[in-house]
Homo-oligomer: A and B are copies of this chain.
Amino acid sequence: VVTRGLATKARIVRDAAPVFNVRGFSGTSMADLLLATGLQKGGLYNHFGSKEQLAVAAFDYATDLIAERFDRALADKDHAVDRLLAIVGVIRSFADSPVVTGGCPVLNTAIESDDLFPGLRERAQRAMTHWQRRIGGTVKRGVAAGELRPDSDPFMVATVITATLEGAVMLAKLYGDTAHMDRAATHVETYIRSLAVGQEPDFPEDRR
């Protein structure tokens, strides 16, 4: 048994993630996972005690990949507007070059785990909260740096960006094309630019 390169456990997670993301937790059978990983029952259960544990690991794997994209996209951006636009770009990229086949794992998990799979639900909450904090923090620092209008509401911005783009991910998935995502991203980008200092307050209600 060669345990070089990717450890088996990591390989299982990598192979299982797209299966869960496409078929959902309920819709994924152990047989699907055996097929995807090339292992047998015994092999899988040595690494994960249950289907749910594997699903959680797969979810974490997917959100870690997304976090890496965020890190890379933000690495060379300083101005708050640039940083927010980069975040939009990352979420937008889910539609045409997904980190994991099947769309946004947070969206998928949030919709399916309807009280039924508390472990998964909590993970989805945590990931989404992390994103919103990242956006909100960028807004706060942008205001402090004089880059964004002082009345910019971090919570409002975080909600608008995540809601609009996740909704667009859903539409892209539903129709199998990116037209909706393009329009939604355009809208959000315009919205972000309107937050910059020196702009007219286009969305007075959005401010505090």
List chain A positions with a Cβ less than 8 A from chain B.
22-24, 26-27, 102-103, 107-108, 110-112, 114-116, 121, 124-125, 128, 155-156, 159-160, 162-168, 170-171, 173-175, 179-180, 183-184, 186-187, 189-191, 194, 200, 202-206
Q: Would B206 and A173 count as touching, CB distance under 8 A? A: no
Contact A110 B174 (CB under 8 A): yes
Contact at B180–A203, with CB atoms within 8 Å? Answer: no
Q: Are B171 and A164 in contact (CB under 8 A)?
A: no
Helix, strand, loop or mixed for chain A's interface?
helix
Q: Are B200 and A200 in contact (CB under 8 A)?
A: yes
Bound-state CA distance A102–B205 (Å) is 30
Whether A164 and B160, one on each chain, are in contact in the complex, defined by CB atoms closer than 8 angstroms, is yes
A155–B181 alpha-carbon span in the complex (Å) = 12
**Once the chains bind, are B194 and A206 in contact (CB under 8 Å)?**
no
Q: Decide: B173 and A114 in contact? CB cutoff 8 A.
A: yes
Closest CB in chain B relative to A159 CB, distance in Å? 4
Q: A111-B112, A112-B112, A205-B186 are in contact. Are A166 and B170 (CB under 8 A)?
A: yes
What CA separation (Å) do A184 and B107 show in the bound complex? 17
Cβ–Cβ < 8 Å partners of A160 in chain B: 164, 183-184, 187
A46 to chain B, nearest CB (A): 11
Closest 6 CB pairs of A and B: A167-B167, A163-B167, A202-B202, A26-B27, A26-B26, A110-B174
In the complex, the answer to whether B111 meets A187 with C-beta atoms within 8 Å is: no
Chain B residue numbers with a CB within 8 Å of A206 are 186-187, 190
Flag if A116 contacts B27 (CB, 8 Å).
yes
Chain B residue with Cβ nearest A202: B202
A-B contacts, 18 of them at CB < 8 A, read A27-B27, A103-B111, A103-B114, A111-B170, A111-B173, A112-B112, A155-B183, A156-B186, A156-B187, A160-B164, A163-B164, A163-B165, A163-B180, A167-B167, A167-B170, A186-B206, A187-B205, A202-B203
